[in-house]
Structure 1
Amino acid sequence: MADYEFDFDLLAELTETSGVPGYEDRVREVVRREFESSVDEIRTDAMGNVVGTIAGDGDYSVAVAAHMDEIGFMVRHVTDEGFVQLDALGGWDPRVLKAQRVRIHTEDGDVPGVIGSPPPHTLSEEQKEATPKVEDVHVDVGLSGDDAKEAVTVGDVVTMDQTTREMGDVVTGKALDDRVCLFAMLQAAERIEDPEVTVHFAATVQEEVGLRGAKALGVDIDPNLAIALDVTVANDVPGFEAGDHVTELGEGTAIKLKDGSVITTPKVHRRLRSVAEEADIPHQSEILPAGGTDTAGFQNTHGAKPVGALSVPTRYLHTVTESAHVEDVDATIDLLTAFVESETGDHDYAY
C-alpha cells in the first residue's frame, strides 16, 4: 500500500454515506460535523448547499466547491409481484447494474434489495444481445407483492450498497464521485488558518442532475474567484490508447483546462500549476472531452468569474468500483491548501 497522510476512516464514511441529488441529508450532516472545528461560520441554504466560511481580511473572497450528491435512483413503481422499478438520478451505465446490492431509503428505515440478473444460460440470443436500460432494471426486496408495497413507496430513493476498501495503491468503492473531493475540501479546511482572503468552502447539491446547487451559490455568495473540485476520467486501463487516458492514476492531482461544460480561466490554471511546481506537488493537466462540473456553475451565474478546477483522477467512474490513487488524493489536498493559503486577492486573473 502506498503511503498517504489523510484520514481514511473519514473518506470511507463519506463515500459509504447515502446522498442522491435532492436528498443529501445524511452526508450533509457529516459535512456540518466536520466544519464545526475548522470554519468560522456554517450555513445551509434552501436547496441544501452547505457553506463553511473562514473569514479573511478585506472584501476579496474565494469559493471552493465540491458536490455532495451521488448518482442513484428514485422508486417509480412497485409491481404486484413485489419488484421495485427505478428512475435514474444522474448518469448510469445500465451495464454495470446487474446483480448489485442496493439500499432503498424509506421513511421507516432502509430496505435492502438486489438488482436481479437472470442466469445467462436461460436467456435467448435476443435477450443476451439487447441493450440494457435503467427502466428495465428491477430490484428484488425478497418480499411478497403486498409486503413490498407496504415497505417501499413511490418516491423513495435508492443507493448502491457498497463499502470502501484499500486495494494496493488505491481506494475503491462507490461515490468517490465526488466524495473524495468533498473529503479533500474538508481536509484543506482543517489545514488553512488565517487566510488573507475570505474562503467559502461549499458542499454543493444536485451536481449530477445539472450543476444546480453551484448555480444557486454563484449568486448567493458571489465570490471573486471559484475553484471547483471533482473527479475526472482515468482511462489508463487496457483497451484505451494513451491519448484517450485523459489522466493517469499516480501522476498527481489534475489541473483542469477544459471539460464539456467549461474552459477554465488561463491565468487561474497557470497559477495552480505554478504553485504546484514551487511546492513540488505532483500534478498533471486535464482535458476532459465530455461531462460537466461545478466549475461551470460558478463561471457566469452572477456575472463573469475567473474559475479553476482540481480533479482527482479516477478509474471506472459512475460505477460501484470507482478507484483513486491515494497519492493523487494527497496531492489534491496539498495543492488546494497551498493555492488558497497563497491567495492574496491581488492576483490579476483578467484577460
Structure 2
Amino acid sequence: MSTASLMEHEDIFDILRKLASVPTVTGYEQNARETIKELLSGYVDDFWTTSWDNSVAVINPAGKKRLLFAAHVDQIGFIVTSIDESGYLKFSPIGGWDARVAYGSKVTVITSKGSIRGVIGTIPPHLMKEKEKKIDFKELVIDIGVDSKKEAEEAGVRVGDYIALHSEPELIGKHRVIGSGMDDKAGLASIIYAARMLATRKNELGDISVYFVATVQEEIGLRGASMIGYELKPDVAVIVDVTHAKSPETKEIAFVELGKGPVISIGPIYHREITESLIEIAEKHGIMYQREADPRGAGTDAWAIQIARGGVKTGLVSVPNRYMHSGVEMVDLRDMFNLARLLVEYSVSMKI
C-alpha cells in the first residue's frame, strides 16, 4: 500500500488491526471486551458489557429515541474434542466451515495457561488413495509440536479449549486488507470509527441516543442480537455485517465489488423507510454505495433484531468481503470508511 493510501485510512486500519489481533471464537468473545472499551474510550458517554458479553456503548444517552448500530464480534473457529495418545488434537468446527479451507491453516489454541500455536494437518494428498482425497473434519488433526497426550496436557490443553485461525491482518495492494475474522471485525471497526466521528457532532443528535453494540454468538444463531434487541428496545436498528464480494468462483452468485462502497440490502425484512433513508443520505453526501437484493434476509443479526419485542425498524449495511470464512478474507478500507461516514450522516439526519 502506498503511504498516501495508508495515511488516508490509517485510523480505521489501526482499529481493524487491534480487533483482529484478539481471537474471539464464538463462545469466547469476552476476550475482546477491554480492546473494544479502549478503542471507544473518550468518544462515548457510557460503556458496559451485558451478562453474555455483548459490548454496549452510547452517545447522547439522554435522548428519548434510540438508534442502534450493531456488528458481531465473534468469528468462526473450532473447539478441542479429544487428545490422542500421540498428542494430536481432534476438534470440531464452530460456525460455517469448509474442511478444505481449514486444512494446512495455522491456529491458536486458547488454553488456561495461555495461547499455543498449532497447525491443522492430515495425510498428505500424494499419500492418499484417490477416493480418500475428499477432506473431512473427521480426518483432520491439530499438531501442536508435542509427542504425547501427557505433553499436550502439561502445555495446558484440555477438551473444550477454543481454537482460532492464526492470521494477522495484512495490507495488500493499495487499499485492501487480508486476514481471518474480517467477518465481522471489518463491520465492527466501521461502527467504532463511526462512533469516533459522531462524537465530534454530538450536538447535532437532538433527541436521538445512538447505541453501538458488538454482539456475540452471531455465527451460531444470532443469539447476542436476540438478547440486545430485547434489552435495549431500539426504535431503529442498522446492522453492519459483511457480504460476499465478487470473485472468479462467486461471479454467478455475488454481484458487489470491493472498493465500490458499502452495500445496502433491500428485501422483505429490511424496513423500506430505513433502506430508502440510507440510500437518500448516501446520494446526498456523495458516499459511494452498492445495492444488494436479499429476498430471504437470513444469516445476519438483522433477522433477530427485526422481530425483537414488538418489532424494530431494521436495515442492513455490509462491507464487501472476498473469500469469506477463510484465513485470507479480503476487505477494502475505502468501503469501511464510507460505511462509517454513512452511519454518521444517517445519525444526524434521521427523524424517528
Of 216, 238, 250 in structure 1, the residue corresponding to residue 248 of structure 2 is 238
Q: CA RMSD in A?
A: 1.6
CA distance in 1: counterparts of 2:68 and 2:20, whole angstroms = 23
What one-letter code is carried by the residue in structure 2 that aligns with 1:185?
I
Cα distance in 2 for partners of 1:56, 1:299 equals 22
Cα contact 1:163–1:174 (8 A) shared by 2: yes
Amino acid at match of 1:287: A
Equivalent position to 2:72, from 63, 67, 72:
67
| Counterpart in the other structure of 1:125 | 130
Query: What corresponds to 2:102 in structure 1?
Result: 97
What do residues 190-244 of structure 1 show as CA deviations (whole Å, max 9, x unaligned)? 111322200111111111110000100111000000110001011x222444x52
Matched, 1:206 2:220: no
**Amino acid of the residue matched to residue 251 of structure 1?**
K
Match of 2:181 in 1: 175
Q: Is the deviation greater in 110-119 or in 72-81?
A: 110-119
Is 1:293 matched up with 2:304?
Answer: no
In the TM superposition, structure 1's runs of 4+ consecutive aligned residues that sit over 4 Å from their partners are: 288-291
Q: Distance in 1 between matches of 2:178 and 2:294?
A: 22
Give the 3-state SS of the residue equivalent to 2:109 in structure 1: strand
The answer to whether the 8 Å contact 1:189/1:201 transfers is: yes
- Give the equivalent residue in structure 2 for 1:220: 231
Aligned residue identity for 2:121:
G
Does the 8 Å contact 2:44/2:58 carry over to 1? yes
Extract unaligned runs of 5+ from structure 1. 346-351
Give the distance between the partners of 2:123 and 2:138, measured in 1 at CA: 16
* Contact 1:62–1:199 (8 Å) recurs in 2: yes
2:138 paired residue among 135, 138, 143: 135
TM-score normalised according to structure 2 size: 0.92
CA pair 289-158 structure 1, distance change in 2 beyond 3 A: farther
1:149 and 1:278 map into 2 onto residues whose CA distance is 60
Q: Distance in 2 between matches of 1:96 and 1:57?
A: 47
Aligned counterparts, 1:249-264, within 5 A: 249-258=258-267, 263-264=269-270
Q: Is the 8 A contact 1:69 1:178 kept in 2?
A: yes
Q: Which one-letter code corresponds to 1:119 in the other structure?
A: P
Q: Quote the Cα distance in structure 2 between the aligned partners of 1:187 and 1:149.
A: 41
Q: Is the 8 A contact 2:45 2:61 kept in 1?
A: no
Aligned mates of 2:249, 2:238 — CA distance in 1: 33
| Counterpart-to-counterpart distance in 1, 2:81 and 2:295 | 33
Cα distance change, pair 63–74 in 1 and its aligned pair in 2 (3 A): same
Quote the Cα distance in structure 1 between the aligned partners of 2:29 and 2:56: 14
Relative distance call for 1:317 and 1:218 in structure 2 (3 A) is: same
Q: 1:150 to 1:314 in 2, by over 3 A?
A: same
* Deviation at residue 14 of structure 1 after TM alignment: 0.9
Alpha-carbon deviations, 1:74-100, whole Å to 9, x = none?
111111111101121111111101111
Partner amino acid for 2:158? T
Match of residue 10, structure 1, among 15, 24, 36: 15
Equivalent position amino acid for 2:144 in 1: V
Deviations 1:22-61 (A, max 9, x none): 2112222111112221111111111100110112554111
How far residue 70 of structure 1 moved from its aligned partner, in angstroms, is 0.6
